Amino acid sequence: MSPNALTFALIALLSFPGAFTAPTQNGTSSQNIILRDLARPRYFGAAMNTTFLFHDQAYTKLIQTQFSAFTPENEMKWEEIEPEPNQFVFGPADEIVKEAQTLYAKVRGHNFEWNNQLAPWVNTSLTAVELDRALQNHITTILNHYRGKLYAVDVVNELISDNTPNETFKQGIWDTKFGEDAIPKALTYARAADPHNTVKLYINEYGTEGIDSKSDALYNVVKGFLADGVPLDGIGFQCHFGLGQVPPTLQQNLRRFTDLGLDVAVTELDINIGTGNPQNATAFALQAQDYWTVVNACVNVERCVGVSVWGVSDDHSWLPNGAVLPWDKNKQPKPAFYAIADAFQGKPKPGLPTDN
pLDDT reported for residue 182: 98
CB neighbours of 156 closer than 8 A, spacing ≥ 6?
A: 111, 112, 113, 114, 183, 186, 187, 202, 203, 204
pLDDT tens per residue, range 249-284: 999 999 999 999 999 999 999 999 988 889 999 999
List, in order of start, the domains of the chain with CATH numbers. Answer: 41-344 (3.20.20.80)
pLDDT reported for residue 26: 66
* pLDDT > 80? residue 150: yes
* pLDDT > 60? residue 287: yes
pLDDT reported for residue 22: 55
Contact between 269 and 288 under an 8 Å Cβ cutoff? The reply is: no
**Which SS3 state, helix, strand or coil, does residue 34 take?**
coil
Distance CA 65, CA 67 (A): 6
- Catalytic positions, please? 158, 268
* pLDDT > 60? residue 214: yes
pLDDT reported for residue 163: 97
Q: Using omega within 30 degrees of 0 as the cis cutoff, is the peptide bond preceding 204 cis?
A: no
Confidence class for position 286, pLDDT limits 50, 70, 90? very high
Please report, as a single letter, which amino acid is at residue 225: F
Contact between 109 and 72 under an 8 Å Cβ cutoff? The reply is: yes
Confidence class for position 31, pLDDT limits 50, 70, 90? confident
Confidence class for position 16, pLDDT limits 50, 70, 90? very low
Average the pLDDT over 60-65 and give the result: 98
Q: What are phi and psi of 98, to 5 degrees?
A: -65, -45
* pLDDT > 70? residue 24: no
